[in-house]
A and B are shown apart, each in its own frame.
Chain A
């Protein structure tokens, strides 16, 4: 019996270590920024050249304007975002006790709108929701991502990790096949990055617009010829959560620029 136990434990240890071997060591983690050409990096570094700042400006205007039946602005409760929103995006997605599941920053903004402002929720990827999210997230620029180590949230991180490791779509690819195993290589002309979600919502030159992390995740799923999850789906939030926990300690860059 003891032998069986020892063998089982050994097998489990081997299985665990072989899984970990594919993950990126802490010291080798790199933001997508470091994979870009100096020209694209220059766009992100200059706030007057970074088109993402257009959304941040609009977001600031929305922050201070009244909305909904309650005729309240975000600023009426949260006051100066530079103080109250500093570091908030670094903690999201976060566990919502009332809902019993994690919510991302966009969903938190919409929850605030529906409960406190009594306003209709903003559509995913709408200009207003992206602008508000970018404005809030940009207050955390330079703040290290602090993934929640809460016991309530752990099962959701595990689910997200499971989705990241699971093969899907006609191409039968898992996220990990590219972003853990081949991040130092290229896919056609483009660098395969490590999928560190440090700058969302970000301005993607290909989109000619700002977009959320969920838009990026859906893009990848479509690329693998998989049926993408809908915006706001629990699976996408769990995947966001896992990516944020994976990037724990890396600084927020919102609004980032990517090719």
Chain B
């Protein structure tokens, strides 16, 4: 049951720099570990994260096996207009999750 925690300020002034924080639940299995019987545990990671602000992509990141479980990604953007942030996480084994958050810009 994947779940995400998103922290976007509800309100901001036009032109203000706002911080966006995202936390996605994921095991981020590296693909390098072995079980007690020596079998390789297959890789299962998030490979890509992106954020769109009213449809326009403002942030994208590729993720790799060295990133810890439950990746916490934060970044900054300039609040230009009221609207919606759409977040998307894509990964191995068909992993695909989306979340969104609204912002009011005055």
Contact = CB atoms under 8 A, between A and B. Distances in A.
B54 interface: no
Given A54-B23, A54-B25, A47 B70 contact: no
Interface string A46-79: 1111010110011001000000000000000000
A58 B1 CA distance: 7
Task: Give the contact-size bracket for chain A.
Answer: 10 to 19
Interface centre among A47, A48, A49, A53 (most CB of B within 10 A): A48
A61 B102 CA distance: 23
Nearest to B28: A208
B6 A61 contact: no
Given A208-B68, A208-B70, A51 B3 contact: no
Contacts, number: 39
A61 B1 contact: yes
Contacts of B5: 47-49, 53-54, 57
B90 interface: no
Nearest to A48: B7
Interface string A176-214: 000000000000000000000000000001001100000
A58 B3 contact: yes
B68 to A, nearest CB: 6
Interface string B1-40: 1010111000000000000010101011000000000000
Interface of B: 1, 3, 5-7, 21, 23, 25, 27-28, 68-70, 72
Q: Which 6 A-B pairs have the closest CB atoms?
A: A48-B7, A208-B69, A54-B25, A51-B70, A48-B5, A57-B3
